[in-house]
Structure 1
Amino acid sequence: MRARTMATVVVAAGILLGTTGCNLYAPQATTIHYDASDGVSGNLGDLAIRNAILLTDDGENANLLVHVVNKSAKSVNLLVQYEGTDEKVTQRVTIDPNATTEIGVPGGENVGVQSLNASAGSLFPVFFQYGDLTGIELLVPVLDGTLDAYSTLVPTPTPTVVPTSTPGVTETPTDAPTTTPEPTTAPE
């Protein structure tokens, strides 16, 4: 009876050690960082750049959608830089201390990208840098407003006002003075 009890204890100890030993050789999947959404992420000093996406409808103008987490006690002037069709464009965004700054959402900071020249489904390089740190370049995915979650975040073109006129009729501006006022002298 004693040998049977001892054998059971040895087998139980072997199973217990065998199942807990997996953690010694294989990393836990929950500790591995990955981008769970459509965007890309990166770390830059005290800043964590999370889920960066460019949203466009026409391939020319885009809205940068990104969350930046500042883990320091000081505000940071983040430089966001990209290569336009003619020149490099740099924009500054102030990132509050010990907070998450949302860029590209209503009520948040805004970084508009003009002369994108990239269609939905492509990757576009965007450079992030602050202070004297070496910056990072992220290949940011370009998406359109097809998904409902992104449909309201796509930049809309500014409307252009086209003057309407009737052929053969000349219009005079209503706010233009009809006569030139005479100069007057101030009373003494």
Structure 2
Amino acid sequence: MASPQHRRPALAPRRPGLRRAASVGLAAAAVLGLGACSATNPITTTMNYDASDGVGAEVGNIRAGNLILLTESEGAAGTVIGWVSNHGTDRATVALALDGTPLGSPIPLAAGETVLLGPDRERTVDVDAAPGAPGTLVEMTVAADAAGTTTIDIPVLDGAFSEYADLVPTGTD
């Protein structure tokens, strides 16, 4: 028989209920902590934003997005890319202008319709002489027949970004 000095200490009785309660409490704290992220950081997909290099505008039920002027240089031919959309229940017409110069004919939009702008899209919006050089901003007016007008500054880009390289009008067009 072992002497009293060499006895093993008795193990504490297990308490599975206490351990389970602690685990549930810890899990609840983690869920609340992680859920709070959306309270302090809004969910981006629920917001209207331009996911590209362009700029957007809103006039009544008319929205325009990702508007960019592509050109080789100031004074050279250019083209506008982006989109216009009618979120209303009635037909609408949208007119675009750069620095006060109208860009082609107005764009008719059925209720709920979106028209993509660009040389490889549904509607081409050409500019005879770009009013600004790549790297600057130019003033664009978006006018909706029934809702009014707004003015925004859109970026002027060239073919430095590969996604735009084939869309920029060149002097050989």
TM-score w.r.t. the length of structure 1 is 0.67
State the Cα distance separating 1:12 from its structure 2 match.
3.4
The 1:150/1:107 distance shift into structure 2, 3 A limit, reads same
The 1:68/1:15 distance shift into structure 2, 3 A limit, reads same
Bigger relative contact order, structure 1 or 2, given CA contacts below 8 A and separation 6+?
Answer: 2
What secondary structure does 2:135 align onto?
A: coil
- Corresponding position: 1:39 with 2:54: yes
Asked if the contact 1:63–1:113 (Cα under 8 Å) also holds between the matched residues in 2, the reply is yes
CA distance in 1, matches of 2:47, 2:81: 24
What secondary structure does 1:12 align onto?
A: helix
Paired residues in the alignment total: 155
Asked if the contact 2:92–2:146 (Cα under 8 Å) also holds between the matched residues in 1, the reply is no
* Structure 2 match to 1:58: 73
The 1:158/1:129 distance shift into structure 2, 3 A limit, reads same
CA distance in 1, matches of 2:91, 2:45: 31
State the Cα distance separating 1:136 from its structure 2 match.
1.7
* Structure 1 match to 2:151: 137
State the Cα distance separating 1:33 from its structure 2 match.
4.0
Asked if the contact 2:141–2:149 (Cα under 8 Å) also holds between the matched residues in 1, the reply is yes
* Structure 1 match to 2:94: 78
The 1:89/1:29 distance shift into structure 2, 3 A limit, reads closer
Q: Which runs of 5+ in 1 are unaligned?
A: 160-188
* Structure 2 match to 1:169: none
State the Cα distance separating 1:14 from its structure 2 match.
3.1
CA deviation map 1:16-49 (0-9, x unaligned): 3333333334423443443222211122222221
Report the aligned-residue RMSD: 2.7
